[in-house]
């Protein structure tokens, strides 16, 4: 393992800010991870773990050790007539993992196609899209504790999964790294097609029976039509979480804003569409220099070229204030700000 100095992080995060890490290394094994941790300890410096870099906004360079996680590999660890348990290294690309599962007939996560990032970041965010969340098919993960050097297996009930949330974003944030994830997937496929425009897009295929491959292709197409490609325009996907309000608050908002978009959730509250709120405040398509809001999806903040992280952050603050003033609703960032 090689420790590099003053290393450019521009190509390692999807906002594409031209920032450096004082120290940088890539690790593909527990042994290399331990070596990196020992270096950080010897230098008395902070650490930042990077996976796919798809959920981070750098407002400045990082004055410490940036550790790029490259743990790879996929394998079936168990199966029966109905299910198959697939284990993946935390450094595997998430969408390529979904493609692997779909190609092998393992169903359940096809709705999560084209979500950027790596497998190990999935449980941290409890990633979700089109009516499916990672927790729905989560079995377990392996977590490495920085302080003790212990490896711990977390099962679903240990992870405190919530909407875009988990124990790894709270109590265990910055205290370790996810080495691998095991999912329980379906051999007998039950397609979830009732969310967004999925069903109407499937109908266009003019088939009697739809497959998980069809669903993956449709989800991919929908996402590509709405969201900018980070290779072309720097972004981190959804910048804000969809806010949760009480049913009573939603009813009150509905009186003043009949077209407000909301969905009932399990606890009786309502989930509002953050993109709709931001759009109603006039932000969709806004641009100030190279910092802006995407023209097709107000939930996505973008770097058109040379915007700084601070400019993106300041724009997000203005958006939060305007939504609060207009609707009385607090927006929470989904991205991690460094």
Structural domain spans, the chain: 4-69, 74-226, 234-337
Mean pLDDT, residues 269-288 taken together:
96
What is the topology classification, in CATH, of domain 234-337?
Answer: 3.90.78
Tokens of 105: 């007939």
Single out the catalytic residue among 54, 110, 140, 164. Answer: 164
Per-residue pLDDT at 163: 84
Mean pLDDT, residues 313-323 taken together:
98
Asked if pLDDT for residue 337 goes beyond 90, the answer is yes
pTM of this structure = 0.85
- Spell out the CATH class of 74-226: alpha beta
Q: What are the residues facing 128 on neighbouring strands?
A: 133
Alpha carbons within 13 angstroms on the beta-carbon side of residue 174 total 7
Say how far apart CA 113 and CA 97 lie, in whole Å. 9
Mean pLDDT, residues 36-50 taken together:
94
Per-residue pLDDT at 39: 96
- Give the other-Cβ count within 10 Å of 39's Cβ: 17
Residue environment code for 291-313, b if the CB has 16+ CB neighbours within 10 A, otherwise e: bbbbeebbbbbbbeeebbbebbb
CATH assignment of 4-69?
A: 3.30.43.10
Query: What integer best gives the mean pLDDT of the chain?
Result: 94
Mean pLDDT, residues 129-139 taken together:
95
148 catalytic per annotation: no
User: Which pLDDT tens digit goes with each residue over 153-202?
Assistant: 999 999 999 988 899 999 999 999 999 999 999 999 999 998 778 988 88
What Cα–Cα distance (Å) separates residue 265 from each residue in 205, 214, 217, 245, 306?
31, 27, 27, 10, 39
DSSP state letter for 217: H
3-state secondary structure of 3: coil
Give me the sheet containing 300-303, strands edge to edge.
Answer: 234-238, 300-303, 291-293, 287-288
221 catalytic per annotation: no
Single out the catalytic residue among 92, 142, 201, 334. Answer: 334
Single out the catalytic residue among 113, 238, 308, 316. Answer: 238
334 catalytic per annotation: yes
Mean pLDDT, residues 105-109 taken together:
97
């Amino acid at each position: 393992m090689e420790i590099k100095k003053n290393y450019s992080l521009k190509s390692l995060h999807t906002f594409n800010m031209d920032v450096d890490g004082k120290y940088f290394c890539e690790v593909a094994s527990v042994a290399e991870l331990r070596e990196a941790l020992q270096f950080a300890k010897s230098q008395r410096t902070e650490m930042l773990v990077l996976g796919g870099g798809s959920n981070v906004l750098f407002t400045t360079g990082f004055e410490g050790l940036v550790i790029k996680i490259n743990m790879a590999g996929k394998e079936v660890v168990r199966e029966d007539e109905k299910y198959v348990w697939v284990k993946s290294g935390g450094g595997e690309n998430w969408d390529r993992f979904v493609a692997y599962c779909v190609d092998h007939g393992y169903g359940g996560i096809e709705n999560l196609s084209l979500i950027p990032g790596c497998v190990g970041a999935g449980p941290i965010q409890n990633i979700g899209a089109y009516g499916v969340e990672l927790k729905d098919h989560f079995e377990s993960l392996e977590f490495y504790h920085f302080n003790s050097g212990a490896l711990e297996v977390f099962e679903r009930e240990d992870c405190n999964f919530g909407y875009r949330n988990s124990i790894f974003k709270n109590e265990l944030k910055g205290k370790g790294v996810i080495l691998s994830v095991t999912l329980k997937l379906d051999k007998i496929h039950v397609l979830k097609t009732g969310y967004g425009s999925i069903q109407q897009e499937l109908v266009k295929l003019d088939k009697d029976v739809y497959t998980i491959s069809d669903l993956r292709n449709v989800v991919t197409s929908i996402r590509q039509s709405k969201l900018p490609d980070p290779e072309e325009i720097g972004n981190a996907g959804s910048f804000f979480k969809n806010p949760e309000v009480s049913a009573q608050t939603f009813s009150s908002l509905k009186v003043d804003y009949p077209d407000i978009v909301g969905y009932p959730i399990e606890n009786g509250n309502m989930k509002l569409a953050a993109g709709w709120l931001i759009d109603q405040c006039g932000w969709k398509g806004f641009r100030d220099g190279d910092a802006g809001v995407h023209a097709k999806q107000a939930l996505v903040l973008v770097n058109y070229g040379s915007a700084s992280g601070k400019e993106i952050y300041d724009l997000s603050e203005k958006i939060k204030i305007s939504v609060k003033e207009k609707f009385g609703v607090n927006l929470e960032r989904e991205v991690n700000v460094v």
